[in-house]
Chains A and B, each alone.
Chain A
């Protein structure tokens, strides 16, 4: 069975990883050495430039932080995290003890274990952001892939939906956010809510902004299925579902994944902006709070967050790539 395949663009970062893999596989040492060397030189040059340039930039909060300050600050953030975790553990232990005592007095008492109410640390915020982005991205995928398939299969449907896609695609998360916030507040009313409102707001904003690349790529992939295959499907009188499953999906999987990777990148970028504006928990709030603190350490701490955001974005992309390789059996 032949299918049209679309090669995912290869980035230099990927080549670097591949070089690492090749080396493990025992490829030519000189070859891989060269491939490892250039990125390493790039990083060292960047650090050097950063180190030299940073002190030249004087802000009202002191000089711009160089790599050393940022490194120190990341250690500091880790220490704060450990200290906070210790307090949280004690808090939990005390609650358990207290509940036990209450239960001993009154076995029917309604006891509850509460989460620690102390301020979230940098690492708590990373976790919150990751969960939110994955939830938003999953929701976007669930909407965009089926919709994209329908758009790709049906010319009329496509014509009807296309203007909407074109209009909503470029809308910034900052424009969606006020609407989403108000709608969530008005419609999600519950005394014992399953999710935080702020989580839903961030998640829906991420979904609204990140579903378009997947939707568009899926529809393009689906509509570009080889006509020969379509004819074969017609001749065999495949049912609609079988047609989609056996013919359409396998051909369009590479395109769908290209879309998913772009979507995930956008989702991550959008999330940070949404968190900053809406003050929902996450890395975005961390950055905004630090900016507001205006302490002498604030800039270094924001820089740590910037690097973390970049690194996590990079990792998310790698993970998608690995999944794509596993799924795209035709490549």
Chain B
């Protein structure tokens, strides 16, 4: 339910996320925010700036450097009746907390037949493009989509970031909320020599004040088109848009917004219309979410396909610091795939 919206302002994604946290902490006294450096300092990306001052140390606090403890404590808090929103400073550091996410948070409702739930929202910046090297650039979303019981959400605009985060916090299931940090401050065309453009003039940066939601499980058609369906999320939406714009391709671009639950209906409808499917993600190729998407499209749209499904992804290597831009699935790699599909 969307409530009455008053003013419209343009915000950066990081500001929109901060605002979502403010809104939810204001609305629900059970929402608590914690993680490394999130309290007084407001987080390394400033996502939690001002929260401790506004809501006090009992509801916004720093934690030890211990992801297992952060997520494990969040599970216990959720069982108590709070709505914890822990931050994992970089998605690359989520692994020590994986058992608590995969074996505990994800299965709590199932194993207790609904007696206990873990309504936590784990926020974490992910993806490359900031010269973070192999330990600050990973995109581990496929790990989480493989786990029954978790929801995986990835916003692509400030508007969505706020609305999706509010939905995630209100959701009674554990949600992994991956924030594409490359586009925290503006859309990114994929060219390393071109800076991120400020969000100020871009679509999706008009963020209403106060409470509104963007539902989980509903994809967004970024632009309608006939030539092919481009299915992506997060940073890659912006790169795909730039490539299609440059090449003058009338593509239909679909921002999945949530990988689980997946809006298969929108994907299916689009591919049946265009007959061609390009899937883009930054994560490593093998076992990536693109494989799942590709299989689903093949199962459901095979007789409508006019060309093989194309996947553009990161390489199956760790993210190399000095060769980050060679790794990144940028305009060249995407452009080649687009050309192949156009020729088909």
A binds B: no
Which residues of B approach A to under 8 Å, CB–CB?
none
